[in-house]
Chain A
């Protein structure tokens, strides 16, 4: 059951702003708090999520035809956090790539309530599993130095005997092919691939790995090789990461803990570019599991 939508969009203006509203709603959802740390994916006034985050100036192509369905399923079915204009069953509008902003063939969005932040908290709080906390730009209001220092201290405290310290701070950059901006995510705040992929999905609004959640399938941590291949073939983009050794691997190959210990940065790349990765990734994983005793 999808969460009943709360405005979260303070704009509440005319149709003309519907696009921005819907977009903003997702990103301003009190639970999701999707506004990314530093950069916004879509800029104010960006289009509706029905068209999947298309940025003025044609920067980010989000929706690929193949994944459209999956994405909307993700929104309606598995991903219970989506705040959406209208009801949850709304069909995703015709997919348009950036540049064609005009045709939003979406069923009319009811005028959004004025109260931006009038969330009746209950429905949201009845969600059983805690949402992976998203990051709103500049919230809570803490200066960067303090935030970064805390992150390092926190990590140090948690990993007493553990070798996984690394730099202590687990912010990694996430880039997407075709996108003009990078995002940063703090891997520390997620506990499994599902959380991470949901977050990235929302951040980049279409994401391959997120699909496995959309079918309501609870997988074990980490994706099996075959599942990964399914996904790869089913969509245009895949999530990869660069590990400590500088190799590019598919996300999902290794157990979560190993992943966050070795991930230096991530890249959402076109699956056509990534096909060659999979076998190598699995092999490397096998080798690593043998050699690595951490």
Chain B
């Protein structure tokens, strides 16, 4: 075969350098079009310049996990053919009120650039961005092909913005509004969907608080035959839910409304019937105000469920057992700690396929309630496939966590929140160092770790020594000295995101991560011992980092109370509010 024809070059043949493409472009294009993972595409683009070019021209989706790490101009220049964008803004601790309002992460500057560069944009997924009604309207009016909007933990918009989306997005397939700081002005935003809109596949307005027009909703559900995800809000009652189900038996994911109502027995049967026709349902969520009175209506579908989200249902262990006894295929389960240790024993008994468990506190400040170490152990015994846990509890022991690590060595995400800051092992009164030590030693695949309880530098020494795959670390009220953070920064090569609050880590700790920060997405440190001098030093040494200090009013000017460090190719922020100082 003639090497030139196939484009294959043998090294050392002295062939013309200009023709040394390894493969013809067409071949590369087609191959790359099959590669969808961002990670793979990033790798591909590093191989050589040609591959970089072919890859960038063919990329359809881009994920920008820190909106300030790059500018919209740079993104659009590199990737001209994007149809789908994921954009994340504020540091995660903004979810917990640690970041002042008006910090930034405004989506509008991105939309402005996208309007010219990506007029065919179809999907926009936003997390922790500031989104105004004007931006939503801009989006709706400037992108004719726009199909999917998802907003999680965003704020700044109201139902007026949703009206604009409903009105103008003729091809809308997805509207997913979750846990946002939305100004629910009520109104009839749902009624703004035109009668001829039939393309909706995903509709999630479960966290909106005001009533929507049920007629409009019913009509929408009835004409959108491709609807596969429907999550309504608390204002929709059981009877209405039943009507919707009858219209959409093809649903794959359902978020219920409230269970509060007293249904007449005829209605209950009708509802059960409706559920039993939903053969494709694999996810059920919401369950507001659910009690044993009407929970049984969902029993017909429990057998198929893989994801059950009961995190808004304050049910007890008995109710949980009833459901779990029928849900043998569960892979993911979210509950409230009202189920207690007894409920978790039921989890251990009935859910052998369980891979993810999240237990949320009903009342973080009540010491009497909740789950404890024994519940966690019970789950670990019965669910060997468990690899993701988020567990809020009042108290824990080292022994329990060590047992859990032995039972479930496959943890990838271990997030334990002992709700009293700096709470020791309640049986031995020792720090919880050994607990997390066991986790990092045993669970070699650990990617994400949230620690809590009383912890000394030893815990961090363990993390630095063993958690070689760790990517995300959250620390609060822990550690003794700079050493703690230093162990981690020096020992964990794959760190991407580190967030620390209320720990005695100072400048030396901050600077110990010097070599790491450029390969990390971000570092957050608040209420630690970091000073402005330390931050300045970091900024001087590392020019490709943005070292930002969020100033509190008044306060000692020498201290850097909230520090946010992240790599960027976009230089210092141009839109920083006055209280954000880039060093």
Contacts and interface: CB of A to CB of B under 8 A. Distances in A.
Contacts, number: 153
B363 A137 contact: no
A114 B555 contact: no
Contacts of A121: 423-424, 429, 454
A143 B555 contact: no
Interface size class of B (residues with CB under 8 A): 35 or more
B93 A138 contact: yes
B516 to A, nearest CB: 23
Contacts of B180: 145
A43 B527 CA distance: 11
Interface string B428-452: 0100000000000000000000000
A30 interface: yes
Contact of A43 (B179, B336, B554): B554
Contacts of B557: 45
A55 B477 contact: no
B556 A154 contact: no
A11 interface: yes
A43 B561 CA distance: 10
B314 A153 contact: yes
A38 B97 contact: yes
A18 B556 CA distance: 11
Contacts of B559: 17, 20, 44-45
Nearest to A11: B529
A140 interface: yes
A224 interface: no
A116 B503 contact: yes
B502 A149 contact: no
A115 B554 contact: no
Contact of B97 (A33, A118, A138): A138
Contact of B207 (A11, A28, A145, A153): A145
Interface in A122-167: 122, 130, 133, 135-146, 149-150, 153-154, 156-157
Interface string B446-480: 00000000111000000000000000001011111
A137 B504 contact: no
Nearest to A188: B363
Contact of B556 (A17, A28, A30, A40): A17
B207 A114 contact: no
Chain B residues touching A, majority SS: loop
B181 interface: yes
A33 B429 contact: no
B289 A56 contact: no
Contact of B361 (A11, A142, A145, A157): A142
A56 B555 CA distance: 7
Contact of A142 (B93, B364, B367, B421): B364
A46 interface: yes
Contacts of B289: 153, 156
B153 interface: yes
Contacts of A10: 502-504, 527-529
Nearest to B420: A30
Contact of A136 (B361, B421, B480): B421
Given A28-B502, A115-B504, A146 B360 contact: yes
A17 B365 CA distance: 31
B552 interface: yes
A3 to B, nearest CB: 15
Nearest to A148: B209
Nearest to B291: A157
Contacts of A17: 556, 559
Given A10-B502, A13-B529, A149 B312 contact: yes
Contacts of B193: none
Contacts of A229: none
A221 B95 CA distance: 38
B306 interface: no
B555 A30 contact: no
Interface size class of A (residues with CB under 8 A): 35 or more
B150 interface: no
Contacts of B480: 114-115, 118
A117 interface: yes
Interface string B408-423: 0000000001011111
B311 interface: yes
B553 interface: yes
A153 B311 CA distance: 12
Interface in A1-57: 10-13, 16-17, 20, 28, 30, 33, 37-38, 40, 43-46, 55-57
A128 to B, nearest CB: 13
Given A17-B556, A142-B361, A144-B97, A44 B454 contact: no
Contacts of B367: 130, 133
Chain A residues touching B, majority SS: loop
A189 interface: yes
Given A119-B422, A133-B365, A57 B553 contact: yes
A122 B430 CA distance: 11
A143 B95 contact: yes
A128 B174 CA distance: 54
A116 B314 contact: no
Contacts of B207: 145
A90 B424 CA distance: 29
Interface in B283-330: 288-289, 311-312, 314
Contacts of A136: 421
Contacts of A119: 422, 454
A140 B93 contact: no
B502 A116 contact: yes
B185 interface: no
A56 B97 contact: no
B221 to A, nearest CB: 24
Nearest to B526: A138
A142 B96 contact: yes
A133 B369 CA distance: 14
Given A10-B502, A150-B362, A157-B314, A141 B556 contact: no
B388 interface: no
B421 A33 contact: yes
A114 B505 CA distance: 10
Contacts of B527: 10, 44
Contacts of B478: 117
Interface of B: 93, 95-98, 153, 179-181, 207, 288-289, 311-312, 314, 336, 360-367, 392, 417, 419-424, 429, 454-456, 474, 476-481, 501-504, 527-529, 552-557, 559, 561
Interface of A: 10-13, 16-17, 20, 28, 30, 33, 37-38, 40, 43-46, 55-57, 114-122, 130, 133, 135-146, 149-150, 153-154, 156-157, 189
Given A43-B554, A116-B503, A154-B363, 14 more contacts: A12-B504, A45-B554, A45-B557, A45-B559, A46-B555, A56-B554, A117-B422, A117-B479, A133-B367, A138-B98, A142-B364, A144-B181, A146-B179, A150-B362
25 contacts: A20-B556, A43-B555, A44-B556, A45-B552, A46-B554, A55-B554, A56-B553, A57-B554, A117-B504, A118-B456, A121-B454, A122-B429, A133-B367, A137-B97, A138-B501, A140-B361, A140-B417, A142-B360, A142-B392, A143-B179, A145-B207, A146-B311, A153-B312, A157-B314, A189-B366
The 8 closest A-B pairs by CB, nearest first: A56-B554, A138-B96, A45-B556, A45-B555, A133-B365, A117-B422, A10-B504, A44-B555
